[in-house]
Amino acid sequence: MFDEARLLYAVPPTEFTAARNQLAKTLKAAGRADDASFVAALKRPKITEWAVNRIAHEQPAVVDRWVAAVVGANTAQAAAIGEAAGGGDFRKAADELKAATTALVDAANEGGDDAHRYEIADLVRGLMVGDGPDLLLAGVVGSRAVSEAAGFFPGATTAGPTTSVAGRPPRVVPKPPGGPPTVPKESTGSKGSTTSAPAPRVGVRAREQLTARSERAQTDLATAKAAAADAQKLVDRTGRELERAQRDLHTRLAALDTAKKRAADLAAQLRELSAP
């Protein structure tokens, strides 16, 4: 059911409702009432969501590069916070993320105007955090429910596919308007057995990596904050000691001036007494 529902999100929004209803009808007729109800409740994706989902299905390498760039940027940022690497690594990772994002946005906006491109860019920026990379890799931006049903995220109740992130979703085969999306025909092995294109547990590795990097970054940040607080205490203590030393210096200088004046007076008196 996951593959069937996921492929809906590569269907143009104008055809989504008809395709969804037809798929739900087909599932119900096949005795899969629960799956039919699930599919019937799926919401139509926005035009920008469909645009990036289409790239996930048709140009997976573009999305793979972007997700790797997101993970790389988070890794470099965590390392920079923990002072495990120089700022050059973070700048390099940030530049790659910028380039990968531009490539993704350009691909999704093919044939669109500047306003549409801006909306896609805004959507992609929002996908950089949380489960966004997983949703985009799966090609289900706009429907977290589809990935939850496949067991991609915590709290999912249905066991999902377990293939590695290397597996990719099959390309959508166009159908006439109103028809449901379909998966390419199964391939036949040398012994006549059939194998379906795997439905990968895409994005889980990326999410786990991002979560681990984020946790380490938070730990490094807390350590840095504690060190900064200790340094500030030292500065404050040193400042107070400096103020006390300055006051003591002023007092001693004043005493020195008084002693100089007293010595001058005594010398003058001595000269007067010694005069013939």
- pLDDT single digits (tens) 114-158: 899 999 999 999 998 888 888 898 888 988 788 777 665 544 333
In this prediction, residue 232 carries a pLDDT of 85
Residue 210, pLDDT above cutoff 90: no
Mean pLDDT confidence for 86-106: 87
pLDDT tens, position by position, 59-84: 999 999 999 999 888 888 877 776 55
Contact between residue 199 and residue 137 where contact means Cβ atoms under 8 Å apart = no
Q: CA-CA distance, 121 to 127, in Å (whole number)?
A: 10
Burial class (CB in 10 A: 0-12, 13-18, 19+), 175: middle
Please state the separation of Cα 264 from the chain's center in Å. Answer: 78
Rounded Cα distance, 46 and 43, in Å: 9
| pLDDT > 90 fraction of the chain, expressed in percent and rounded | 27
Residue 212: predicted pLDDT: 62
* Nearest Cα to Cα of residue 137 among 169, 115, 103: 169
CB atoms within 10 A of CB 275: 6
Residue 198 pLDDT level (bands cut at 50, 70, 90): very low
| pLDDT, tens digit (0-9, with 9 covering 90-100), for 30-46 | 999 988 898 999 999 99
What are the beta bridge partners of residue 187? 195
Residue 166 neighbours by CB distance under 10 Å: 10
Q: Flag whether pLDDT at 168 surpasses 70.
A: no
**Beta-sheet pairing, 187-188 with 194-195:** antiparallel
Which residue do the tokens 């573009």 mark?
A: 62
pLDDT of residue 161: 32
Instruction: Specify the higher pLDDT residue, 156 or 248.
Output: 248
Of 256 and 269, the one with more pLDDT: 256
> Would you state the pLDDT for residue 166?
32
d(C-alpha 121, C-alpha 124), whole Å: 5
Percent of all residues in the chain with a pLDDT value above 70, rounded to a whole number: 71
Higher pLDDT, residue 228 or 193 = 228
Q: pTM score, two decimals?
A: 0.55
Of the ranges 36-50, 87-101, 138-152, 216-230, which is most confident?
Answer: 36-50
